[in-house]
Amino acid sequence: MTTLLNLSLAEARDALAKGEFTAVELTTAHIKAIEARRDLNAFIVETPDLALDAAKASDQRRKAGPAGAMDGLPIGIKDLFCTEGVQTTAASHILEGFKPPYESTVSARLKAAGAVSLGKLNLDEFAMGSSNKTSYFGAAINPWKKASDPAARLVPGGSSGGSAAAVAARMVMAATGTDTGGSIRQPAAFCGITGIKPTYGRCSRWGIVAFASSLDQAGPMARTVRDCAIMLGSMAGHDPKDSTSVNMAVPDFEKALSGDIRGLKIGIPKEYRPVGLSEEVAKVWDQGIEWLKAAGATPVEITLPHTKYALPTYYIIAPAECSSNLARYDGLRFGLRVPGKTLDEMYRKTRAAGFGSEVRRRILIGTYVLSAGYYDAYYAKAQKVRRLIAEDFRKAFETVDVILTPTAPTPAFGLDENTDDPVTMWLNDVFTIPTSLAGLPGLSLPAGLSADGLPLGLQLIGRPFDEETVFRVAGVMESAANFTAKPEGV
């Protein structure tokens, strides 16, 4: 069974096609793995019975005719995607018990491709966090351990922390994530897996619980670059129900993995090497540059001058959009209701009881920056700086094909660290937020281990809708990195 758990999506897909094992066998192995690792708190809802039914249906389909691109492959769904008839909470008390009467476009596409869902994965509440600690259902735990302190429990990153932990611990073969400021890439880096936030507009946002609508984007998290390419192909595509999803053909991302990056120019932004950048992060970045050089690409120093303003820009725009989006949680139509004598009192009590402290903080900041008298000073200003940040990237991509940076400034930290000051926690996303503001594709892949035995990730950023070049470079880097380390117990 262990061998089934360590297969990549591509390997399992090919083995299923050859009849080496069945979808039911593959799914059963993963259901057992999930039961064995409940200590990681990666799932909010497990759906083993639904998964087995889906696996049986997949085996029958395969007997009857051609199989789908992900037929019979067991995956997990971040609990931010609405799933018909299966509780969807966004890891918030305010949505506890909510069973959507509809399916998100992305999860529906994955099901249509034959993927088998094993259940709903833990996350930071409403995807607001970088540690998974803001989940109402308790933090998910990183399966990796520090060599110096194996007893310490580490965060898997966030917000897609349950997704990253489950993929790393071989409980699922791959998982959906969403990324607003780094929520796919940072947990992928912390858990030693690969994940890509595609270009804004590549995947439909319909049926994904909204956080910051101008930034939110779904993407795959898996153990190889090829697996991310396969899965993104089954997630992406135009959807009339999301007016920002682009009407553009979805390329065969897997075909982009040619292995040949000769002649490509790789941008190395000097602003991503701030004073105080951890030596081991800098080292793995330099190593990444060397790998790409050895494969025939040319590193080019570039400047992204507004980088330092990305974080403050994000922490105006994202809370503003969140305060507007989360206005819908009013205790009326779904989710939690705390009774009040008046309608207004019911709203106040419901929202006080239903939202956790990080979500409340962001709603309050967002309400303030959108309020009369402050809108121009904060929100409009941030929207202007956002344009400057996007312009920085546009100019850089006039000379380079892809940009290489670290994914996060540190490896995974302990559950009890970074708790005092919200701004310190936000610094985790310093390298991923600029890409989100510019709407560009960003992929994180594991590139090495820290001195303490924890995974370190590198990020590749591409031009809008050029995920293919990102995948192509990532494939070469993955071969060079040869990252074979696994967390304990796998």
Partner 1 sequence: MSLDKSTVRAIADLARIEVQDEELDHLAGELSNILHFVEQLSEVNTDGVLPMSSVADITLPMRADVINDGGYPDKVLANAPEAAEGFFTVPKVVE
Write out the catalytic residue numbers. Answer: 78, 159, 183
Selected from 201, 207, 446, 487, the binder of partner 1 by CB under 8 A is 201
Q: Give the shortest CB-325-to-partner 1 separation in angstroms.
A: 12
For the chain, the residue count is 490
Among 53-61, 91-99, 123-131, 134-142, the segment contacting partner 1 (CB under 8 A): 91-99
Among 110-118, 354-362, 402-410, 447-455, the segment contacting partner 1 (CB under 8 A): 354-362
Distance CA 128, CA 366 (A): 13
In the complex with partner 1, which residue's Cβ is closer, 146 or 351? 351
String of b and e for 304-320 (b: at least 16 CB within 10 Å)?
Answer: bebbebbbbbbbbbbbb
In the complex with partner 1, which residue's Cβ is closer, 217 or 459? 217
214 lies in the site for partner 1, by CB under 8 A:
yes
Distance CA 170, CA 62 (A): 25
Considering only residues 355 through 414, tell me which ones interact with partner 1, judged by CB under 8 A.
355, 360-361, 363-365, 367-368, 371, 378, 380-388, 390
In the complex with partner 1, which residue's Cβ is closer, 77 or 365? 365
244 lies in the site for partner 1, by CB under 8 A:
yes
Distance CA 50, CA 43 (A): 15
Among 126-134, 145-153, 270-278, 416-424, the segment contacting partner 1 (CB under 8 A): 416-424
> Between β-strands 265-269 and 74-78, what pairing exists: parallel, antiparallel or unpaired?
unpaired
Selected from 32, 56, 273, 348, the binder of partner 1 by CB under 8 A is 348
Residue whose token pair is 């061998």: 3
Q: Helix or strand or coil: residue 300?
A: strand
Considering only residues 245 through 274, tell me which ones interact with partner 1, judged by CB under 8 A.
246
In the complex with partner 1, which residue's Cβ is closer, 200 or 431? 200
Distance CA 203, CA 218 (A): 6
Give, in order, the Cα–Cα distances in Å from 145 to each of 141, 150, 381: 10, 5, 42
In the complex with partner 1, which residue's Cβ is closer, 41 or 432? 432
- Any alpha helices (H) in 6-100, and if so which ranges? 9-18, 23-36, 48-64
Q: Give the shortest CB-450-to-partner 1 separation in angstroms.
A: 28
DSSP letter string, 244-262: TS---PPP-GGGG--S--T
309 lies in the site for partner 1, by CB under 8 A:
yes
130 lies in the site for partner 1, by CB under 8 A:
no
126 lies in the site for partner 1, by CB under 8 A:
no
Selected from 332, 395, 419, 451, the binder of partner 1 by CB under 8 A is 332
Phi, psi of 48 (to 5 degrees): -65, -35
112 lies in the site for partner 1, by CB under 8 A:
no
170 lies in the site for partner 1, by CB under 8 A:
no
**C-beta of residue 460 within 8 angstroms of C-beta of residue 466:** no
For residue 159, say if its preceding peptide bond is cis, omega within 30 degrees of 0: yes
C-alpha distance across the termini of the chain, in Å: 12
Residue whose token pair is 């985790």: 428
Distance CA 383, CA 375 (A): 11
Q: Catalog residues that contact partner 1 under the rule CB under 8 A.
A: 97-101, 200-201, 214, 240, 243-244, 246, 306, 308-309, 311-313, 315-316, 323, 330-337, 339-349, 351-352, 355, 360-361, 363-365, 367-368, 371, 378, 380-388, 390, 421-423, 437-439, 464
